């Protein structure tokens, strides 16, 4: 469960203390047996909807909110302490919705309280007078919780961007190091090789052998330096390339979303995935008529699944436009590529994380 689109539920039990308005009448009013049973059933149903809402994404909270409102409405003629249940509904409305819909739904919720007051015989004169301010006040707490959520999301996005920038800077540093190392080394190799060739032409075998020995040592030193320079780098390439691809999609007007954790791969698989995603993203940018794109990574049973989808209504992906080449490249390392063009474009890469024996 991600904390960035759901409520933090570690204190959800503590917040139930606000049900005191619902429980209090049980100790000061005498009810018939069927009323006790109905109130107990309503409480159970409320708790189901309450924890359902806590475990739901904001976009999915409408069902548990509707359940809470329904339960509270039905139990109000028996126990007007149901106003506390309406308050929880107000909180979830405040948390789940943008301002225009929040205002509309809260107006409807208050109107429901007024309707219950006017149409039912409620044995509490303060049901509406106290209930409406309580529901409104608690809904503002939901708005505050939504603001905290947005702040956390912004902080997380900033951290991700900093990580991506650090990865880019590291790649540039390594590129400069490799250029400096290989530029000097290859110049030395050329000079030594040319000199050894000239010495051999003049039958100066011993001197030529000495130059070749130095050339061999230069190559070994260069190899060691290159290994040191790229140490820790080979598994950063995929993350950085994905960040660039998502950035390209956003610049092209897509709402780009990354799901799952970017895996650590060996160089061969990493290169294959980067090339495949670059080709697929380019096709989406060229042909998709949609405005939303999602890239997801999942690992199960030692198989990496990479899926790129968009919501475009029309996209043309031809085998001759690079897809055939991608399939062949992936097949060489035991992978596969499948595409589908129903309700948008979808491309799925399946790749074993280890060499097949």
Where do the structural domains in the chain lie, given as residue ranges?
14-155, 158-229, 237-352
DSSP state of 326: H
Does the global pTM surpass 0.95?
Answer: no
The predicted pLDDT at position 9 comes to: 59
Phi, psi of 204, deg, nearest 5: -95, 70
User: Please, what are the averages of pLDDT over each run of 10 residues along the chain (357 residues)?
Assistant: 53 77 85 93 95 88 95 94 93 93 95 93 87 93 87 74 70 64 70 86 86 80 62 61 85 87 84 85 80 91 92 60 76 88 85 70
Which option is the CATH number for 158-229: 1.20.5, 3.30.1300, 1.20.58, 1.10.3470? 1.20.5
| Percent helix / strand / coil, the chain, rounded to 5 | 65, 10, 25
Which option is the CATH number for 237-352: 3.30.565.10, 3.40.1010.20, 3.90.120.10, 3.30.360.10? 3.30.565.10
The predicted pLDDT at position 266 comes to: 83
255-259 and 292-300 strand pairing: parallel
The predicted pLDDT at position 1 comes to: 39
The predicted pLDDT at position 164 comes to: 73
End-to-end CA distance of the chain: 36
User: For residues 348 and 294, is the Cβ–Cβ distance under 8 A?
Assistant: no
Please provide the DSSP assignment of 209-228 as one string.
HHHHHHHHHHHHHHHHHHHH
């Amino acid at each position: 469960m991600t904390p960035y689109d759901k409520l933090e539920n570690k204190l959800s039990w503590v917040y139930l203390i606000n049900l005191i308005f619902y429980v209090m009448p049980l100790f000061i009013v005498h009810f018939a047996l069927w009323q006790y049973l109905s109130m107990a059933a309503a409480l159970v149903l409320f708790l189901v909807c309450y924890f359902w809402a806590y475990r739901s994404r904001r976009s999915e909270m409408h069902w548990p909110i509707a359940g809470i409102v329904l339960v509270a409405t039905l139990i109000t003629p028996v126990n007007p302490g149901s106003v506390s249940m309406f308050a929880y509904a107000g909180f979830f409305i405040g948390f789940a919705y943008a301002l225009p819909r929040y205002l509309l739904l809260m107006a409807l919720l208050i109107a429901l309280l007024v309707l219950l007051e006017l149409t039912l015989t409620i044995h509490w004169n303060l049901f509406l007078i106290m209930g409406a301010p309580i529901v409104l006040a608690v809904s503002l707490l939901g708005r505050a919780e939504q603001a905290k959520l947005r702040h956390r999301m912004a902080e997380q996005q900033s951290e991700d961007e900093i990580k991506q920038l650090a990865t880019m800077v590291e790649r540039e540093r390594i590129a400069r190091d490799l250029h400096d190392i290989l530029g000097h080394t290859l110049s030395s190799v050329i000079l030594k090789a040319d000199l050894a060739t000239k010495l051999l032409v003049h039958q100066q075998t011993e001197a030529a052998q000495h130059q070749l020995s130095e050339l061999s040592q230069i190559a070994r030193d260069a190899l060691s330096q290159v290994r040191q320079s790229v140490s820790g780098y080979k598994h950063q390439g995929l993350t950085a390339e994905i960040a660039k691809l998502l950035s390209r999609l956003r610049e092209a007007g897509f709402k780009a979303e990354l799901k799952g954790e970017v895996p650590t791969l060996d160089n061969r698989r990493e290169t294959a995935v980067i090339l495949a995603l670059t080709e697929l993203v380019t096709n989406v940018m060229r042909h998709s008529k949609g405005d939303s794109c999602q890239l997801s990574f999942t690992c199960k049973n030692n198989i990496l699944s990479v899926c790129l989808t968009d919501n475009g209504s029309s996209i043309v992906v031809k085998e001759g436009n690079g897809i055939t080449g991608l399939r062949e490249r992936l097949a060489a390392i035991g992978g596969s590529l499948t595409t589908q063009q129903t309700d948008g474009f979808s491309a799925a890469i399946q790749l074993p994380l280890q060499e097949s024996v």
